[in-house]
A and B are shown apart, each in its own frame.
Chain A
Amino acid sequence: MASLLATVVLLLLPSVFRLDGNTHADWQQFLGRFHPLVVHLPIGLILLLPLLEIAGRFRPALLEAAMFVLSLSVFSCVLALTLGYLLAYGSGEAGASVTRHMWGGIALTIGVGGCALVRGASGGLRGFYPWLLGSVLVLLAWTAHQGGSLTHGDRYLTEYLPQPLKHLTGMGTVQAKTFAFPDSFYAKHLYPVFDANCISCHGERKVKGHLRLDSFDRLMRGGEDGAVVIPGHPERSTLFKRITLPADDKKFMPSEGKPALKPEEIAWIKAWIKQGASPELKTLAGISLPHEDEPLPQVADYSGKMAVIEQAAKAAGVTLVPVSRNLGDGLVLNTVDAGAKFGDAQLVSLEPFAPYIVEAELGRTSVTDASLGTLAKFPHLRAIHLEGTAITGNGLAQLAQLQQLRYLNLSGTQVTAAAVAPLTSFKGHLYLYNTPARPIPAAPDGQSTARKEP
């Protein structure tokens, strides 16, 4: 009877003292912080139970010990639960993970209590004991994992999972966040700052002080003390105030000894609030960000063709080197070791891999104008080096169809002004040094080009 009562009390606890995300008394937090310490006691005791039960078949004395350990488990579960509850309630923790961990703990305590009842009972009820204990162990693993995720973060266990396994289990991929205005300053620059520094405590899984920063709407809604962003007034915005307090202030954010935001990040937040805290604005006056490149066009996946590519490159006496570890960045055709042995025929032999090659380094090889037609079939070329070759420029017009071409080096070739005329609309860097089209400039005059006297 007493145990039934205890069960009801435990189940009602969360509705009486709701985890409302508000912080409560300091003494609660003080005691609560012993939860992570004490919690390992029931874990150890519960894990000991099945061992004792099995070993007890051979040494009956251990069966007696099992009952004792079970009683201790019940007691320590209640203690750990109480402290855990004080911790969550006192520090104002809320959120999906906290709730899950709480219910896990409550269910576990009830389960262990049930075990004690069933084990002591006589008759048919006793038969449930192994099943109940088994369920308790599963529940224990799940609850402990939830608790671990709260302290160490979700990715703690899988972060250093060997890459191949990550690949197999699909854990390496992270769901991308979607924004209403993906090009806005908020989405591109501010959200990543919040994500890296704040969302572990002010997000979906853990909500301290009622504040969530994991979406624009929630950010503007604010927390238990109202709005944290007051558009136009950074100095009155709690968000800005809390991140600019002295690092040893109790209210300083990020809390718990996590590193402060970088000065430039604080400057971004200040300017963003000052200029209206808009979710749409793309740039902020007075904030200069490093110039961003247009993302490189990606080539198709060639990972399945590595062996063939390597073979063809070897046959042509060249190497095809990945631009970076991201295979989508493509391959560079490097002919420096082949030199004059590389000619038009070799380039043709690499044509099957044209979709993956983004740069052709053909300087000082023996390619001729015939190769210009071949190169025109390499749609992803961004750079072509033809310096010091026998190219005369006959057929250069074909390169105009290479949409991604940004660099063309014809230095030291025989191209004439007439031959390069079709490239007048070429937007990238065109080099014609030491060619009939642009002969070597006259010797420098030694005069300085000073703009004005100081």
Chain B
Amino acid sequence: MKQHPLCTDPDHGPTVMDLPIAEGMKAEWAELETRRHFLGRAGKVLGWAALASLAGDKVLTGDAGAANVSVPPAPQSLRLPNFAPKAKRAIYLFMSGGPPQMDLLDYKPNLAQLYDKDIPDSVRGAQALTGMTAGQARFPIAPSHWAFKQYGQSGAWVSDLMPYTGRMVDDLTIIKSTNTDAINHEPAIMLLNTGNMNAGKPCLGSWLSYGLGSMNDNLPTFMVLLSKLNPKENNQPVSSRLWSSGYLSSEYSGVGLRSAGDPVLYLSDPRGVDRDVRRKMLDAVNEINRQTYQELGDPETNSRISQYEMAYRMQASVPELTDMSREPQSTWDLYGPDAKEPGTFAYNCLMARRMAERGVRFTQVYKRGWDVHADVMGMLPILCQETDRPAYALITDLKQRGLLDDTLVIWGGEFGRTVYSQGGLSADNYGRDHHPRCFTTWMAGGGVRPGITYGETDEYSYNVVKDPVPVRDFNATLLHCLGIDHNKLTYKFQGLEQKLTGTTPASVVNGLLA
């Protein structure tokens, strides 16, 4: 059949792989080969345009060497940070379950007079409650059982449950007006971590790894520390979805350290396998993987190669990281006796400091058990005893070592708790249900203004009355501290320029910034 003159046979002519261009560029090109690309191959012009945009200025200005000055494997096209960052790294102390803000940091002295009175309908409005309290006949106000004191130059009010937090209020940026759209744990914790209630999106740590890349060769960029469960507490599950890279390459997932036993399984080589043998085996496996990649061009194969290599280097770096025998006595005096026991929140806070020193970009420490639906009076003292001192110790330790200047520390849960009691309210106990409309979080360190309290809630700690900080603005602000414009850290997926802060316009909360 005679070919139409305007139709060129796509199988002839040079392909990108034949061009005299950098190997890295070819690899990036290969990653673009999707079904859609294949189908659209006849329209090659578009493909060339895509290649040109991958190559960026460098093709025209001639300094292709510029692409390799920095370590980050992060995509050069993003060219992050967008501006000089205040913080190079972050530590996120995640209080999973939802700490009760009015028992800890959101002081409401007037509630004492309203003991066991019903919360006015005007305050609650038409809000849908969880199935756990929606059926309650009454919503009796439960004032906090604990007294509050004013601390520091800033005069912030802190519950007697958290005396150590009281000591550091002048270093903290307390946000009383954080609020979320989700009322149950899983969607709320997903929203805070990934900007979306549904699973499948990359989390904050993965976005940071993707956008900023690694600061060191021997430890992962993003690490997750799970604190041991306390069976006396009401523990909600925490799953690896929360440190998943979603649609980003799996290289950007968080790497967890185990809270008991070896921090990483099979860390040491088995008997009879020395370092050389291990190296040779890995080289052979990598070679096979590279062949597979040549053949199929699946970028996940490359991720696998880099993960094997990271694991190999971690065999050397993790034992050094987790060996705390050289920590001076002053460390244990600061973090408290719990820190000696692997897997406790105190131990993990100390570990987070050690990771910060060793160039880990983002560490997330999970502490579960804050889901105090009942027995607030029994559980809250235990929770605070476990977390108050270590959080203080971490801030103090970072500060004295000069690390707080460029480390951002974040403390907070996925939502707050209700001012009214779930279940019965009695003189010696009460419970609190989930509350998305306001909760208290704090930040400290690089990029945020110390010694301030931002936002206000009403006299019931129920609604935000001033300066609300929705989750997307909270996350936009975190990224800002790390030198990132949240609108520019994007990844094209499912036809959208996806980003951590989602599609609803988000804005950086300038009032929080230093």
Contact = CB atoms under 8 A, between A and B. Distances in A.
Contacts of B84: 296, 323-324, 326, 329
A164 B514 contact: no
Interface in B368-410: 400-402, 405
Interface stretch (B50-58, B94-102, B242-250): B50-58
Contacts of B359: 334, 336
Interface string A155-167: 0000000111001
B85 interface: yes
Given A290-B510, A387-B402, A429-B402, A452 B328 contact: no
B82 interface: yes
Contacts of A443: 330, 333-334
Nearest to B357: A363
A167 B166 contact: no
Given A164-B60, A290-B513, A303-B63, A444 B334 contact: yes
Given A167-B61, A309-B69, A449-B151, A325 B81 contact: yes
B187 interface: no
Given A164-B57, A168-B60, A329-B84, A336 B358 contact: yes
A164 B330 contact: no
Interface in B460-500: 483
Contacts of B328: 434, 440
B295 to A, nearest CB: 32
Contacts of A329: 83-84
Contact of A164 (B52, B79, B152): B52
A310 B514 contact: no
Contact of B65 (A306, A321, A434, A454): A306
Contact of A334 (B215, B333, B449): B215
Contact of B53 (A162, A289, A304, A309): A162
B66 interface: yes
Given A321-B70, A337-B217, A444 B149 contact: no
B167 interface: yes
Interface string A130-162: 000000000000000000000000000000001
B71 interface: yes
Residue among B70, B82, B150, B166 having the largest count of chain A Cβ atoms under 10 Å: B70
A319 interface: yes
Contacts of A309: 69
Given A337-B218, A411-B401, A451 B155 contact: yes
Interface string A423-438: 0000001010110000
A409 interface: yes
A291 B70 contact: no
Interface string A314-346: 000001111111100101001011000000000
Nearest to B509: A290
Contacts of A326: 83-84
Among the interface residues B147, B163, B400, B402, which one has the most CB atoms of the partner chain A within 10 A?
B402
A449 B218 CA distance: 41
B319 interface: no
B218 A451 contact: no
A319 B439 CA distance: 42
A385 B405 CA distance: 12
Contacts of B513: 290-291
Contacts of B510: 289-290
B366 interface: no
Contacts of B79: 325
B483 A167 contact: no
B458 to A, nearest CB: 19
Contact of A454 (B80, B149, B402): B149
A450 B402 contact: no
A452 B149 contact: yes
Interface string A256-284: 00000000000000000000000000000
Given A164-B59, A303-B63, A454-B157, A433 B148 contact: no
Contacts of B216: 336-337
Contacts of B10: none
Interface string B85-128: 10000000000000000000000010000000000000000000
A375 interface: no
A119 to B, nearest CB: 32
Given A387-B401, A444-B333, A454 B148 contact: yes
A453 interface: yes
Nearest to B483: A324
A365 to B, nearest CB: 13
A407 B402 contact: yes
Interface string A281-306: 00000000111000010000001101
B504 interface: no
B389 to A, nearest CB: 9
A387 B163 CA distance: 31
Interface in A397-443: 407, 409, 411-412, 429, 431, 433-434, 440-441, 443
A95 to B, nearest CB: 30
Nearest to B83: A324
Contacts of B63: 303-304, 306-307
B68 interface: yes
A323 B79 CA distance: 11
B511 interface: yes
A412 B513 CA distance: 30
Contact of A319 (B61, B70, B81): B70
A239 interface: no
A303 B82 CA distance: 17
A163 B61 CA distance: 11
Contact of B69 (A321, A363, A407): A321
29 contacts: A167-B57, A167-B61, A289-B510, A290-B513, A306-B63, A306-B65, A309-B69, A310-B65, A320-B69, A321-B69, A321-B70, A323-B81, A323-B85, A324-B80, A324-B85, A325-B83, A336-B216, A337-B217, A385-B402, A411-B400, A412-B401, A433-B400, A433-B401, A434-B330, A440-B330, A444-B333, A449-B166, A452-B150, A454-B109
Interface of B: 49, 52-53, 56-57, 59-61, 63, 65-66, 68-72, 79-85, 109, 147-152, 155, 157, 163, 166-167, 215-218, 328, 330, 333-334, 357-359, 400-402, 405, 449, 483, 510-511, 513-514
Interface of A: 162-164, 167-168, 289-291, 296, 303-304, 306-307, 309-310, 313, 319-326, 329, 331, 334, 336-337, 363, 385, 387, 407, 409, 411-412, 429, 431, 433-434, 440-441, 443-444, 448-454
Given A168-B60, A291-B513, A321-B72, 14 more contacts: A162-B49, A162-B52, A290-B449, A296-B84, A309-B69, A310-B69, A320-B70, A334-B71, A336-B358, A429-B402, A448-B149, A449-B151, A450-B163, A451-B155
**The 10 residue pairs across chains A and B that have the minimum distance between CB atoms:** A431-B402, A307-B65, A443-B333, A409-B402, A325-B79, A450-B149, A448-B163, A306-B66, A164-B60, A290-B510
